[in-house]
Structure 1
Amino acid sequence: MNNNNENTGTARAFACALLPLAAGVASPAASAEAGHATLPQVSVVATQDERPHDQRNVVTTDSAGLPAAVSVITADELATINIGRDISNMFRRVPGVVANNIDQGDTGNGFRMRGFATQGTHGADTAVYVDGVPQNMPSSQAGAGHGPAFLEWLTPDMIGQIDVIKGPVSALYGDQNRAGAVPIQTQSGEVPSSFGIGLDRYDGKRATLVLSGRHALRPEAEPIQSLFVADLYRTHSYRYDGSTERDNLFWKLSTRIGEGLYSLRLNHYRAESTAAGYLLLSDLQSGKVDPRSTQYGLPGFGSGKRSMFALNRAPAHGEEGWYATLYGEAFERERGIATSSVQHTVGSDDRNIFGGRLAGNVTFGDRAALMAGLEVRRDHGDAQRQIWLRGVPTANYVNAQRLTLLTYGLFVQGQFKPVDSVKLSAGLRRDWFDYDIVNRKLPAASTDYFKGVTTPKLGAAWTVLPGLDLFANVAQGFRSPAAEQISSSGAPGPLGAPGGSVYDVSPSKVKSYDVGFTATPARNLTVTAAAYYTLNEDEIVGQPDGSFRSVGDTTRKGYEVEARWRPVRPVSLYASYGHIIQAEANNPLPNTGARLSVPRHQLKLGAEYRQRLQGVQLTVNADAYLTTGIPYYMGTPQTQLRFMPAYTRFDLRGVLDWKQYQLSLFAVLQPHRFSTEAAYGAAAGLLVSPQPKWQFGMAARYFF
Structure 2
Amino acid sequence: MKNKQNNRSVRPMACALISLSSSTLSQAVYAQADHPVLPEVNVVAQNDVNLQGKRTVVTTDSTGLPAAVSVVTAEELGTINIGRDISNMFRRVPGVVANNIDQGDTGNGFRMRGFATQGTHGADTAVYVDGVPQNMPSSQAGAGHGPAFLEWLTPDMIGQIDVIKGPVSALYGDQNRAGAVPISTQAGEVPSSIGIALDRYEGKRASLVLSGSYAFRPESPPIQSLFVSDIYRTHSYRYDGSTDRDNVFWKLSTRIGDGVYSLRLNHYRSESTAAGYLLLSDLQSGKVDPRSTQYGLPGFGSGKRSMFALNRAPANGQDGWYATLYGETFERERGIATSSVQHTVGSDDRNIFGGRLANNFTFGDRAALMVGAEVRRDRGDAQRQVWVRGVPTANYINAQRLDLLTYGLFVQGQFKPVDTVKLTGGLRRDWFDYDIVNRKLPAASTDYYAGVTTPKIGAVWSVLPRLDLFANVAQGFRSPAAEQISSSGPVGPLGAPGGTIYDVSPSKVKSYDVGFTATPATDLTLTAAAYYTLNQDEIVAQPDGSYKSVGDTTRKGYEMEARWRPLRAVALYASYGHIIQAEANSPLPNTGARLSVPRHQVKLGAEYRQRLQGAQLTVNADAYLTSGIPYYMGTPQTQLRFMPAYTRFDLRAVLDWKQYQLSLFAVLQPHRFSTEAAYGSSAGLLVSPQPKWQFGMAARYFF
CA contact (8 A) 1:47 1:518 kept: no
Shift, 1:314, TM fit: 0.4
Shift, 1:18, TM fit: 3.9
Q: Counterpart of 2:154?
A: 155
1:343 correspondence with 2:342 = yes
CA displacement, residues 467-524 of structure 1 (integer Å, 9 cap, x when unaligned)? 1110000000000000000000000000000000000100000000000001110011
* Gap change, CA 1:22 and 1:308, over 3 Å in 2: farther
Q: Counterpart of 2:329?
A: 330
**Secondary structure at 1:566's aligned position in 2?**
strand
**Could you state the TM-score of these two structures normalised by the residue count of structure 1?**
0.94
* Gap change, CA 1:540 and 1:683, over 3 Å in 2: same
1:391 correspondence with 2:390 = yes
Q: Which amino acid aligns with 2:694?
A: Q
CA contact (8 A) 2:26 2:162 kept: no
Counterparts of residues 537-548 of structure 1 (less than 5 Å): 537-548=536-547
Q: Counterpart of 2:524?
A: 525
CA contact (8 A) 1:44 1:70 kept: no
Q: Counterpart of 1:310?
A: 309
Q: Counterpart of 1:669?
A: 668
CA distance in structure 2 between the aligned counterparts of 1:267 and 1:175, rounded to whole angstroms: 24
Q: Which amino acid aligns with 1:110?
A: G
Counterparts of residues 40-439 of structure 1 (less than 5 Å): 45-48=44-47, 61=60, 65-439=64-438
* Gap change, CA 1:585 and 1:403, over 3 Å in 2: same
Shift, 1:432, TM fit: 0.1
Shift, 1:65, TM fit: 4.0
Q: Counterpart of 2:498?
A: 499
**Secondary structure at 1:177's aligned position in 2?**
coil
**Secondary structure at 2:551's aligned position in 1?**
coil
CA distance in structure 2 between the aligned counterparts of 1:514 and 1:18, rounded to whole angstroms: 25
Q: Which amino acid aligns with 1:172?
A: L
* Gap change, CA 1:147 and 1:63, over 3 Å in 2: farther
Q: Which amino acid aligns with 1:689?
A: S
Q: Which amino acid aligns with 2:560?
A: V
CA distance in structure 2 between the aligned counterparts of 1:442 and 1:407, rounded to whole angstroms: 24
CA displacement, residues 427-465 of structure 1 (integer Å, 9 cap, x when unaligned)? 000000000000000000000000000000000000111
CA contact (8 A) 1:131 1:184 kept: yes
Q: Which amino acid aligns with 2:398?
A: N
* Gap change, CA 1:410 and 1:226, over 3 Å in 2: same
1:16 correspondence with 2:21 = yes
CA contact (8 A) 1:110 1:121 kept: yes
Shift, 1:220, TM fit: 1.5
Q: Counterpart of 1:654?
A: 653
CA distance in structure 1 between the aligned counterparts of 2:518 and 2:8, rounded to whole angstroms: 21
1:25 correspondence with 2:31 = yes
CA distance in structure 1 between the aligned counterparts of 2:142 and 2:195, rounded to whole angstroms: 33
Q: Please identify, of 210-219 and 344-353, the stretch whose mean Cα deviation from structure 2 is larger.
A: 210-219
Q: Counterpart of 2:55?
A: none
* Gap change, CA 1:602 and 1:528, over 3 Å in 2: same
Shift, 1:612, TM fit: 1.5
Q: Which amino acid aligns with 1:531?
A: A
**Secondary structure at 1:282's aligned position in 2?**
helix
CA contact (8 A) 1:67 1:473 kept: yes
Q: Which amino acid aligns with 2:555?
A: R
CA distance in structure 2 between the aligned counterparts of 1:615 and 1:604, rounded to whole angstroms: 33
CA contact (8 A) 2:43 2:419 kept: no
* Gap change, CA 1:15 and 1:606, over 3 Å in 2: closer
CA displacement, residues 74-122 of structure 1 (integer Å, 9 cap, x when unaligned)? 0000000000000000000000000001211000000000000001100
CA distance in structure 1 between the aligned counterparts of 2:290 and 2:35, rounded to whole angstroms: 48
Q: Counterpart of 2:644?
A: 645
CA distance in structure 2 between the aligned counterparts of 1:312 and 1:144, rounded to whole angstroms: 30
1:536 correspondence with 2:569 = no
Q: Counterpart of 1:441?
A: 440
CA displacement, residues 293-344 of structure 1 (integer Å, 9 cap, x when unaligned)? 0000000000000000000000001111110000000000000000000000
* Gap change, CA 1:536 and 1:673, over 3 Å in 2: same
* Gap change, CA 1:200 and 1:152, over 3 Å in 2: same
**Secondary structure at 2:671's aligned position in 1?**
coil
**Secondary structure at 1:220's aligned position in 2?**
coil
**Secondary structure at 1:493's aligned position in 2?**
coil
Shift, 1:192, TM fit: 0.2
Q: Counterpart of 2:683?
A: 684
**Secondary structure at 1:378's aligned position in 2?**
strand
CA distance in structure 2 between the aligned counterparts of 1:456 and 1:328, rounded to whole angstroms: 29
* Gap change, CA 1:28 and 1:570, over 3 Å in 2: farther
CA contact (8 A) 2:207 2:231 kept: yes
Counterparts of residues 458-477 of structure 1 (less than 5 Å): 458-477=457-476
Counterparts of residues 573-584 of structure 1 (less than 5 Å): 573-584=572-583
CA distance in structure 2 between the aligned counterparts of 1:315 and 1:49, rounded to whole angstroms: 27
**Secondary structure at 1:696's aligned position in 2?**
strand
Shift, 1:143, TM fit: 3.4
CA distance in structure 2 between the aligned counterparts of 1:98 and 1:158, rounded to whole angstroms: 22
CA displacement, residues 234-275 of structure 1 (integer Å, 9 cap, x when unaligned)? 000000000000000000000000000000000000000000
CA distance in structure 1 between the aligned counterparts of 2:417 and 2:20, rounded to whole angstroms: 19
Shift, 1:568, TM fit: 1.1
CA contact (8 A) 2:27 2:160 kept: no
Give the aligned length: 676
Shift, 1:144, TM fit: 1.2
CA contact (8 A) 1:44 1:518 kept: no
CA distance in structure 2 between the aligned counterparts of 1:28 and 1:324, rounded to whole angstroms: 11
Q: Counterpart of 2:607?
A: 608
Shift, 1:540, TM fit: 0.1
Q: Which amino acid aligns with 2:105?
A: D
Q: Please identify, of 566-575 and 475-484, the stretch whose mean Cα deviation from structure 2 is larger.
A: 566-575
CA distance in structure 2 between the aligned counterparts of 1:345 and 1:390, rounded to whole angstroms: 11
CA displacement, residues 58-78 of structure 1 (integer Å, 9 cap, x when unaligned)? x96379843110000000000
Q: Which amino acid aligns with 2:173?
A: G
CA contact (8 A) 2:63 2:412 kept: no
Q: Counterpart of 2:13?
A: none
CA distance in structure 2 between the aligned counterparts of 1:49 and 1:275, rounded to whole angstroms: 39
CA distance in structure 1 between the aligned counterparts of 2:575 and 2:482, rounded to whole angstroms: 39
**Secondary structure at 2:71's aligned position in 1?**
strand
CA contact (8 A) 2:63 2:413 kept: no
Shift, 1:157, TM fit: 0.2
Shift, 1:610, TM fit: 1.1
Q: Structure 1: where are the runs of 5+ without partners?
A: 7-12, 31-42, 51-58
Shift, 1:4, TM fit: 8.5
* Gap change, CA 1:431 and 1:29, over 3 Å in 2: closer
Shift, 1:45, TM fit: 3.6
CA distance in structure 2 between the aligned counterparts of 1:694 and 1:394, rounded to whole angstroms: 41
Identity of aligned residues (%): 87
CA contact (8 A) 1:602 1:626 kept: yes
CA distance in structure 1 between the aligned counterparts of 2:622 and 2:126, rounded to whole angstroms: 27
- When the two chains are superposed, the root-mean-square deviation of aligned CA atoms in Å is 1.8
**Secondary structure at 2:566's aligned position in 1?**
coil
CA displacement, residues 626-666 of structure 1 (integer Å, 9 cap, x when unaligned)? 00000000000000000000000000000000000000000
Shift, 1:25, TM fit: 2.1
CA contact (8 A) 1:332 1:349 kept: yes
CA distance in structure 2 between the aligned counterparts of 1:302 and 1:270, rounded to whole angstroms: 11
CA distance in structure 2 between the aligned counterparts of 1:14 and 1:563, rounded to whole angstroms: 20
CA distance in structure 2 between the aligned counterparts of 1:501 and 1:90, rounded to whole angstroms: 42
